Structure 1
Amino acid sequence: MSAIDLPGWTHAYSGKVRDLYIDENTRDLASADRVLMVASDRVSAFDFVLSPGIPGKGELLTTLSLWWFDQLTGVPNHLVADHEISDDGTVNDLIPDAVAGRAMLARTLDMFPIECVVRGYLVGSGWAEYQRSQSVCDVPLPAGLRNGDRLPEPIYTPAWKAPMGEHDENISFERTVDLVGADAAEALRSLSLEVFSRASAIAEARGVILADTKFEFGANRNSGVITLADEVLTSDSSRYWDAELYAAGDDDRLASFDKQIVRDWLSEHWDRSASTGSGQAGPPPELPQEIVEQTAARYRELIERLTRS
């Protein structure tokens, strides 16, 4: 995960997909009042960063996040102006040309250690858990639901954000109260459900179903206002389906506009149970070009479906 040399900026952190940069005159990330968030073309699955990346993915994720932030009027978000106007009226871009199109200039926040997951449909790990317990993350559900069924109402199923290299952990709402306090926990749940509802209606009007998603929030360091942060409603953080295929009950009705193609290929070509001797699975195989191209096409199709007028 090599950093890019960006004049005026210092690399501060790299996640699986995103790299964070701070102003070169700022001591560290904790003291920075703004951060340059750069989305790479890296793709991850099963907690591994894979090779090769998905060409153009970083720009697609950033474009979609910016579009959704624009749709969600009234919801505080972490964006700050990406340009400034000099005394003579000249507009100066603050995002370096080398990362233009795949970077956001964002306000630093006191992030909550919670992934705010909202599920509108029963699928994925939720479906697997439902078959065992007729519940998802301690939320009881009606009997008789099938894989892919729409839930009676969206449910909030938070997860604890584990440190880098560890697995995130599904937790109960009561546990979020322990982690962030009762007021913040209730606000995170309420805001997550509200944004999910608004986004679902916008997506459905464009022939797309938002099956589930995760949000991340932080507190504004000056005002304490809970603020939507990181990426939002992208193919990496959300599961989207084609509404027409879903309604028709087609075999591909649950085919999602994301990296599921990658996960499916890995499941068939990589034995994650094989040990390297250290108790860890061996590294995943390199993705074939056709899988890379198919995944890139799904990312592009989603953004075209959502953002076209």
Structure 2
Amino acid sequence: MASTAVVQVDLQGKLPKVASGKVRDLFAVDDKTLLFVATDRISAFDVVMENGIPGKGALLTALSIYWFRYLQSEIPDLKTHFIDNSLPSNLDNSLSSSLLDSLRPRSMQVRRLRVIPIESIVRGYITGSGWNEYKKSGTVHGIPLPAGLAEGQKLATPLWTPSTKAEVGDKDENITPEQARGVIGDAATAQEVERLSLQIYTAAAKRAEEVGIILADTKFEFGVDEENGNQVVLIDEVLTPDSSRFWPKVTWEENLGRAQPSFDKQYLRDWLTSQGLKGKDKVVVPDDVVERTAAKYQEAYETITGEKWKSG
């Protein structure tokens, strides 16, 4: 793994930057194509940490590409924004070799689409903010659930539990499915987002369970291909430790009723909470927490893909 985290990307004006998220910087290749560059930035509780996790952006990119390809093999009608993981030709030979070496494993060329402005979350198990709401009201995103559930329990069926899609620095807010339909605006599009989210979750959860991982919940994002009949398309990252909760299957049942060990950034969340830093700005993550978080991400990648992670 590289020793220095890449938290800023400077293409030296070769491509215009169109957006910068918590982790990814987006550049316009042309009017139909974007370059997605996953930095090593890491966020928790909707706040970006001051320092990053070395190599994280490359790992997230590789894992997303794995899932885009896997999901399309399992769901033939699924469309994604992923084109390939090459750099645009106008960047080659126009940037330094060290910058190109940093960019290549972190980059994807993707289709430029209209983004649907919600986070499309699917929960197969009750945990996190869903558990907190359930303890107060017996609901998750306004959906009533049976009494007596334990933290970490598997739900009878996976639930579509969307949230708002906040700008950097703002907080995503859980909303009901009905509210999400209102935000999306078009009933057919909303129905397709829900259908695809549940179908993708089911396929991914099955694959994860085959290798001993429980996919407790995950977040998807979608866009609309207006040139092809307003087709709903899976975009952004998919099924990474940044966007998902991965639990070891072998210890799941014995940990019911309390926090589960995980292969994601829950370790960082727990450290922030224990230090009274939840939601605080300008937090510098200590080296030992950086290393443990990186190890969790690497373990998730290797377990899911069956391949040894080759850091740059």
Same fold (TM over 0.5): yes
Alignment of 1:35-54 (within 5 A): 35-54=34-53
Q: Is the 8 A contact 1:241 1:253 kept in 2?
A: no
Alignment partner, residue 202 of structure 2: 197
Alignment partner, residue 215 of structure 1: 220
Residue-by-residue CA offset, 1:11-65 (whole Å, 9 max, x unaligned): 3321111111113xx5xxxxx2111000001111122211321011001101110
Residue-by-residue CA offset, 1:258-280 (whole Å, 9 max, x unaligned): 111111111122355xxxxxxxx
Helix, strand or coil at the partner of 1:190: helix
Residues 1:56 and 2:62 aligned together: no
* Separation (CA, whole Å) in 1 of partners of 2:86 and 2:272: 42
Alignment partner, residue 171 of structure 1: 175
Helix, strand or coil at the partner of 1:170: coil
Question: Which one scores higher on RCO, CA 8 angstroms, separation ≥ 6?
Answer: 2
* Separation (CA, whole Å) in 1 of partners of 2:194 and 2:124: 14
Q: Is the 8 A contact 1:242 1:253 kept in 2?
A: no
Q: Which range moves more in the overlay, 161-170 or 97-106?
A: 161-170
Q: Is the 8 A contact 2:125 2:154 kept in 1?
A: yes
Structure 1 counterpart of 2:289, from 288, 291, 294? 291
Shift of 1:8: 4.0
Alignment partner, residue 252 of structure 2: 246
Alignment of 1:252-291 (within 5 A): 254-271=260-277, 283-291=281-289
Residue-by-residue CA offset, 1:126-173 (whole Å, 9 max, x unaligned): 111111111101111111100000001101111121233322121122
AA in 2 matched with 1:170: N
Alignment partner, residue 304 of structure 2: 306
Residues 1:130 and 2:134 aligned together: yes
Helix, strand or coil at the partner of 2:158: strand
Helix, strand or coil at the partner of 2:304: helix
Shift of 1:243: 0.5
Alignment partner, residue 206 of structure 1: 211
Per the alignment, do residues 19 and 199 of structure 1 end up closer, same or farther by CA in structure 2, a change over 3 Å counting? same
* Separation (CA, whole Å) in 2 of partners of 1:251 and 1:304: 28
Alignment partner, residue 188 of structure 1: 193
* Separation (CA, whole Å) in 2 of partners of 1:283 and 1:176: 29
Alignment partner, residue 82 of structure 2: 79
Q: Is the 8 A contact 2:86 2:107 kept in 1?
A: no
* Separation (CA, whole Å) in 2 of partners of 1:129 and 1:78: 33
Q: Is the 8 A contact 1:6 1:96 kept in 2?
A: no
Q: Is the 8 A contact 2:46 2:172 kept in 1?
A: no
Indicate the structure (1 or 2) with the bigger Cα radius of gyration: 1
Q: Is the 8 A contact 1:211 1:239 kept in 2?
A: yes
Alignment partner, residue 275 of structure 1: none
Structure 2, unmatched stretches of 5+, are 1-6, 94-98, 308-312
Structure 1 outlier segments of 4+, above 6 Å = 250-253
Alignment partner, residue 17 of structure 1: 23
Q: Is the 8 A contact 1:245 1:252 kept in 2?
A: no
AA in 2 matched with 1:77: T
Shift of 1:176: 2.1
Shift of 1:255: 1.2
Structure 1, unmatched stretches of 5+, are 27-31, 87-91, 273-280
Alignment partner, residue 278 of structure 1: none
Helix, strand or coil at the partner of 2:159: strand
Residue-by-residue CA offset, 1:234-264 (whole Å, 9 max, x unaligned): 0000000000111444899711211111111
**Structure 2-normalised TM-score?**
0.85
Per the alignment, do residues 232 and 9 of structure 1 end up closer, same or farther by CA in structure 2, a change over 3 Å counting? same
CA-based RMSD of the aligned residues comes to 2.5
Aligned length: 288
Per the alignment, do residues 98 and 185 of structure 1 end up closer, same or farther by CA in structure 2, a change over 3 Å counting? same
